[in-house]
Amino acid sequence: MSKQMTVEQLFEMLKKFQEPKGYFFNKDMTMTMPLLENLLVNKERYGYMACPCRLPNGTFEDDKDIVCPCVYREEDMKEYGACFCGLYVTAEVNEREDTSIVVPERRPPEKILGQD
Amino acid sequence: MAKPCNVTLYALSTCIHCKKTKQFLEDNDVQFKVVYVDQLTGDERKEAIARIKEYNPKLSFPTIIIDEGVCVIVGFQKEEIQEALDI
């Protein structure tokens, strides 16, 4: 079994891939580090890095839309300057003093199973 | 001093906005119940989801339900919380 990745390793790895594409980590590290930590918690729990701010169904097939980076990120960043959980923001948002933005949920609720 | 309300915070144990909301309620001495929906299974999970959906059809977190839906706050909305609970 491979050694679990540390938060710092995840930070460096994602930063390298995401920032050149315009997806910047929120400069507010009281947001970013716990979010990354919880991505690792979800990887342990479910086997994949489900968005920490959404309710996973528990199987990759049913949650692939919310595996980070989620399929809703691009539209959210275009419209609000941040993704739903606030891990990624635009360069413009990172220039503000306060980078906290409330992004309304775009995932259709039908995607959450077990609600009948 | 916070108004005496029946406050339930529906949250996810991994969600930063939920954590900040919980901290904000605690810092303001609000009495509330927290339900971590990601830690529920079976009927408990179904019931919690059904209740949240009744007040917040998008089923997103955190959802705060005050006095059986007199007020519902979705997301970490400090000002809305302050106004609703008079804090």
CB atoms B46 and A54 under 8 Å: no
Residues of A in contact with B50 (CB under 8 A): 115
**Amino acid at the residue A89:** V
How does pLDDT run across B59-82, given as a tens digit for each residue? 999 999 999 888 999 999 999 999
**What is the distance in angstroms between the Cα of B4 and the nearest Cα belonging to chain A?**
27
Q: What pLDDT is attached to residue A59? A: 95
- If you average pLDDT over every residue of chain A, what do you get? 93
Q: What pLDDT is attached to residue B69? A: 86
**What is the distance in angstroms between the Cα of B21 and the nearest Cα belonging to chain A?**
12
What burial class does residue A1 get, using C-beta atoms within 10 Å of its C-beta: 0-12 exposed, 13-18 middle, 19+ buried?
Answer: exposed
| pLDDT over 70 (residue B1) | no
Task: Report how far residue B51's alpha carbon sits from residue B42's, in angstroms, rounded to the nearest whole number.
Answer: 15
User: A52 CB near a chain B CB, below 8 Å?
Assistant: yes
Task: Report how far residue A20's alpha carbon sits from residue A51's, in angstroms, rounded to the nearest whole number.
Answer: 21
How does pLDDT run across B4-25, given as a tens digit for each residue? 789 999 999 999 999 999 999 9
pTM of the model: 0.92
Q: Are strands B33-36 and B7-11 parallel, antiparallel or unpaired?
A: parallel
Peptide bond into A69 cis (omega under 30): yes
Residues of B in contact with A54 (CB under 8 A): 12, 60-61
Q: What pLDDT is attached to residue A1? A: 45
CB atoms B16 and A104 under 8 Å: no
Chain B (15-74) residues lying within 8 Å, Cβ to Cβ, of chain A = 15-19, 37-38, 45-46, 49-50, 53, 57-61, 74
Residue B82 CB-half CA count within 13 A: 5
Q: What is the ipTM of this complex?
A: 0.89
* DSSP 8-class letter at B37: G
Phi and psi for B84 in degrees, rounded to 5?
-65, -35
Answer whether A55's CB lies under 8 Å from B59's CB.
yes
Residues of B in contact with A114 (CB under 8 A): 45-46, 49
